[in-house]
Amino acid sequence: MAERDRRPRIDQPREGGRRFTAPAAFTEETFGVASEKFARYMGTPYFLIGMTVFVLFWVGWNVLAPKTVRFDPYPFIFLTLILSLQASYAAPLILLAQNRQADRDRFALEQDRSRDERNLADTEFLTREVAALRIALRDQATRDFVRGELRDLLDELEERGLVLVRREELEAAYDASAARAIPAADEGPVPPT
């Protein structure tokens, strides 16, 4: 019975025990940021020029130097090994950086789509509101409508001879009084006569 109690139960989580936890400096995000920086650096002219200078120096040293100081003879096997090792590490890091960029692009696209949907809903709401206002204002008298009706009424009164002063005379009198008021305002107060 005691042996049975010592065996771990599958239906319960483990208690205690130490598990390996990576240090806080080696989180997935930190590694992803470092891989993006590395991938960005590998695409710069500085890296390409530096790698070209390194390879040219390596080949030049192993071809032109005395045989006693050459460390990688003509087939340059060690150079091939170093470049293959560098490529084997660079490829996954570049792919990781591309995947992270694709995730950021996907997230930005989702945000843009939701923002566009909200803008469309707002635009449709405003369109419905403007249409409702137009329908409501259709029964209201506008300023232009009232002016037109007053002009028609004035014309009708003039035809019947009920209006003693014509519209043109009223406008001329108003313009004349406005013209007299402007110079008087420039000269100061007009003394009473």
Decide if pLDDT at 109 tops 80.
yes
Q: What is the pLDDT of residues 39-79, one digit of tens each?
A: 899 889 999 999 999 999 999 999 999 999 999 988 899 99
pLDDT value at position 85? 94
pLDDT tier at 178 (50, 70, 90 boundaries)?
A: low
With a cut of 60, say whether residue 1 has pLDDT above it.
no
DSSP-derived letter for residue 189 is P
> Does the pLDDT of residue 82 top 90, yes or no?
yes
Read off the pTM: 0.48
How high is the pLDDT of residue 117?
95
CA atoms in the 13 A half-sphere facing the CB of 185:
6
Alpha-carbon distance of 146 to 174, in angstroms, equals: 21
d(CA 130, CA 132): 5
